[in-house]
Chains A and B, each alone.
Chain A
Amino acid sequence: MAAMTQSTSAILSVRGVGKVFPGVKALQNVDFDLVPGEIHALLGENGAGKSTLIKVITGVHPRDAGRVIFNGTDIHPQHPGEAQNMGISTVYQEVNLVPTLSVAENLMLERQNLKWGFINWKPTIAAARDALATLGLDIDVERPLGSYSVAIQQLVAIARAVALDARVLILDEPTASLDAEEIKSLFQIMRDLRGRGMGIIFVTHFLDQVYAVTDRITVLRNGQRVGTFVTADLARIDLIGHMLGRELAEVSSHRHHDERGFTGKGNQIQIKNLGRKRMLHPVSLELSGGEIVGLAGLLGSGRTELAELIFGAQKADSGLVFINGEPVMLRSPQHAIRSGFALCPEDRKQDGIVAELSVRENIILALQGRRGWLRPIPGAEQQKIADDMIRALGIATPDREKPVGQLSGGNQQKVILARWLVAKPLFLILDEPTRGIDVGAHADIIKLIKELCDEGLALLVASSELEEIVAFADRVVVMRDREKVSELVGAEITQSRIIEAIAR
């Protein structure tokens, strides 16, 4: 199917849309066009703005700037129900249907066949059956939705969108919980719907699927549109370059820190065949005190999983971790912290900060955890530690007792760093340390990372910002499909080498 490129024929047009969350420009001046009868992939790393764009289109978030034009008219949906009534339906990875209701009822809610104001069940159930039949699904529609697999629930959600005469269907990571067969039938359904003139936006992080089913690709990065491409004309390596932020031609970033002269002294951390079934193929890795190892790879490549396994947040089913030759048990994060490990998670809102606690309380959390809860740190000492850190890291807060939740993203990240610094770990793992942070704080944090290493700390930094990794890493481990595929050292560390390793 040839993809049309004229914006005049678009069923859905986004023009100059902007969205700001406190401390983060989630979307800046984004344009996007969807024409009838195309499957359009929306790609980008975590935090690139994919889900924000979808939420702006469907009315979950109000937009701060720009226009959304559907079927020739400007729309301002206030909530997803309104967008759905206009003809824009969304199917989420997490199925948004009611599991306790029957399949038929989920399909027919608010659209039941009425007779004298009362529901006429026979035609209602028949209509539900017909709606599923168009997708080739033949199940008992009177059983509760929750008794079926997630795959079927997702198809029911799509059937509902189709039955509602949707002109635009948004599929947000629909394949994450499906197996290969289910994905195949989903793709067949997507092609059928495309044949009927529906415009489909497909969000995914599986590049194979992008090439299998889509006509065009729009790439977002850091809240801005990188470009829109015809899938058939875009080589995979170029696509990855667009997603990670560098055209291959201009990639030859010089290394700033060769002169630092890493000597290999300090603590030796050895990770041997650490893995877990269905999560991560066994990975081996060595780090020394004072060394920075970068962890590169696309979203879903296993970066975060490796970090969590090392830290004991997920239980490994194979492999061992040694510190200076001694094996350490990593059964839980507590064990890891006692052994001197520290993890700065990617989603700090969910995993890192305790938003209601003050800056001081958040900073001493890990140190207190290491000492054990029965030996509280004296108040005066807590205050001194907190004040020192606020000064040293330049945390912008009026005072140390302000709840962390009220600080900007960059300052929250600094608070987490401060927490681990006072605990004096020997091995620190930073997962996306600069995510959602404004430019000023970004530079501060990179500077801090380097200083940390000069003090003899071993650092593992997972990041999707290649520029960043190239700038500070002594070694780079490249992950793809939950596997370590390459390790680059010294002069090998360039953005083009990393992208090649990922794309290969």
Chain B
Amino acid sequence: MINERYYPLLATLAVCALLYGYGIYEHRAFSDTYVLGNLLTDNAFLIVTAIGMTFVILSGGIDLSVGSMIAFVGVLMAELVGGFGLHPLAAVVIAMIVGTGFGGFMGYLINKFDIQPFIITLAGMFFLRGMCFVINLDSVPISHSFVSDFGSFRIPLPGRGWLSASALVMLAAVIVGIVIAHYTRFGRNVYAIGGDRQSAELLGIPVGRTTVQVYALSGLFSSLAGVVFAFYTASAYPLAAVGVELDAIAAVVIGGTLLTGGMGFVIGTFFGGIIMGVIQTLISFDGSLNSWWTKIMIGALLFGFIVLQRLITRSFSGLRAGAG
């Protein structure tokens, strides 16, 4: 018998295979690695963000600040490279330290004052978006030879496709996420806290410290996503990535992670992000459909996955109502 923890992940894989298979069946060009390479590149920043979000949701929380973080990191890097003349890599290091620190700060507030993560990260979302405009009001290019090298780097795939630097960073982030989630005590403690916070405390898990670390980790991943996004577009814009926090949450849920926490897989989030990309690609291939159909499809999938999760958790005895 298959372990029931894998049911949502299997559903995610099935949906992904079905959609991809449908694409190949309908459009011959869909099977080309060109489509795959583009999927990985175009959704890289979303998937990187969603990995951090996976940890937050696994712990039973939510992080609404990630979209603003992406824009803020871009604007900050543009200023550091263009205004202060730093090398882009130095700017990356600074931006990611700032992002991780800000995430940790939100985690500290959530833990110390026992406030809903929703409220704190909502405040973080407004704060970071506002800070973008303090630094810069307009869209500015990030022009540096390193950035253009990053953009033109590619590893050819069989067929017409290639793997971009963005895609490689994203794949590395997925692997790092899997290792953290499944092979570290921190990762397992995140699952335990999301599964039943009260019990986790009684089991001697450092709940407070882990909570701070979870939001710091989300800050780290979303600032990395900001770096990828800035390099990918070679520009910075204060209004970039509006609503990406919701896309990231959708990717996590479609990836099979329980919205109440405690169950899910980082690899599921990867496929969740890919599914959203595939839907978008299918609609652009079709040509006759409005792009809003992407949202409708994703909404329908979310309904399906949330009901599926409910059915699985309901079969559990002893799962406290409203845990997490």
Contact = CB atoms under 8 A, between A and B. Distances in A.
Interface of A: 79-82, 84-85, 95-102, 105-106, 109-110, 112, 114, 117-119, 121, 142-150, 153, 160
A79 B202 CA distance: 8
Q: Which of A109, A142, A143 has the most CB of B within 10 A?
A: A109
A81 B204 CA distance: 4
Interface in B176-226: 179, 182-185, 188-189, 191-192, 194-196, 198-205
A149 B317 contact: yes
A174 to B, nearest CB: 14
B259 to A, nearest CB: 13
Q: Which of B179, B183, B200, B261 has the most CB of A within 10 A?
A: B183
Interface of B: 3-5, 179, 182-185, 188-189, 191-192, 194-196, 198-205, 258, 261-263, 313, 315-320, 323
Given A143-B4, A146-B319, A153-B318, A96 B195 contact: no
A79 B196 contact: no
A99 to B, nearest CB: 4
B184 A144 contact: no
A150 B204 contact: no
Given A101-B192, A147-B4, A149-B317, A109 B203 contact: yes
A99 B196 contact: yes
Contact of B195 (A99, A112, A117, A149): A99
A96 B198 contact: yes
A468 to B, nearest CB: 36
Nearest to B260: A100
A109 B196 contact: no
A113 to B, nearest CB: 11
A351 B316 CA distance: 28
A101 B205 contact: no
Contacts of A84: 204
Contacts of B202: 80-81, 96
Contacts of A102: 3, 5
Contacts of B199: 95-98
Given A101-B195, A118-B179, A147 B316 contact: yes
A117 B196 contact: no
A165 to B, nearest CB: 14
B189 A109 contact: yes
Given A84-B204, A110-B189, A144-B5, A119 B183 contact: yes
Contacts of A79: 201
Nearest to B58: A100
Contact of A100 (B179, B198, B263): B263
